[in-house]
Amino acid sequence: MCEKFEAVYEMVSLFGKRADFLKMVRQGKLDKSNPIVRKGLKAREQLVQEHMKLVYKVTNQRAFYTCTYDELVQAGVLGLLRAIESFNPRLGFKFSTHAVSIIRFEVSTASKGERVIKIPSTLLSQITRLKKKVSSNSKLAIATAAKEMGLDDTQIGRVLLHWDEPASLDTMSFDPSSSELDFVGAA
């Protein structure tokens, strides 16, 4: 088991920081021909499967009011991935000690109904101020209110991009007259 953690640690260390590793994964620029990366990805997948009981244990301890059990498990798995990628086996701590706190944080964040999609706090405060300004004066357009707040065009674009709360694909209504490819391509 320790060699699996070592393999993941080496893979993430190739990129310097975990954030750089995640950036490469998101952009699809991860060189899977590199034997260290290939071994690390395989080890990471095996570790997730082996430690799912931790996720279920933490999830079963939480009361979930704002989301379903499956959503809490999903948040727990994201926490487990974060724990696996940030664990340093050379420090001598047990993995479960390290992972439980990270999984608990992710699950509690999800159970409180807080945003799973991370938005910078400055942008979130701009959205909140703008929503208050528009709701207090219903005749005021969003763009006009943003200009009055001193936002430039790029800032207005960023605010409008994150204006609406994200919707779950489970709750979205699907128009049967459009093709499935149109639905996926619109995102």
**What residue spans define the domains of the chain?**
2-111, 118-166
The reported pLDDT for the residue numbered 135 is 77
CB 110 within 8 A of CB 65: no
Tokens 């095996």 belong to: 46
The amino acid sitting at 122 is T
What's residue 115's pLDDT? Answer: 58
Q: What is the mean pLDDT of the chain?
A: 76
- As a whole number of angstroms, the distance between CA 53 and CA 58 comes to 9
Task: Please indicate whether residue 140 or residue 91 has the higher confidence score (pLDDT).
Answer: 91
- pLDDT for position 71: 83
Would you call 169 exposed, middle or buried from its count of C-beta atoms within 10 A (0-12, 13-18, 19+)?
exposed
| CATH class of the domain whose range is 2-111 | mainly alpha
With bands split at pLDDT 50, 70 and 90, how would you rate the model's confidence at 165? low
User: Encoding tokens for residue 70?
Assistant: 């499956």
Contact 107, 75 (CB under 8 A): yes
Residue 5 near residue 89 (C-beta atoms within 8 A): yes
Cα 99 to Cα 47: distance, rounded to the nearest angstrom: 12
Residue 87 CB neighbours (<10 A)? 20
* Residues 14-65 pLDDT 10s: 777 666 776 777 677 777 778 887 888 888 888 889 999 999 998 888 766 6
Q: What gap in Å lies between CA 12 and CA 105, rounded to an integer?
A: 22
> CA angle, 20 as apex, 43 and 127 as ends, to 5°?
120
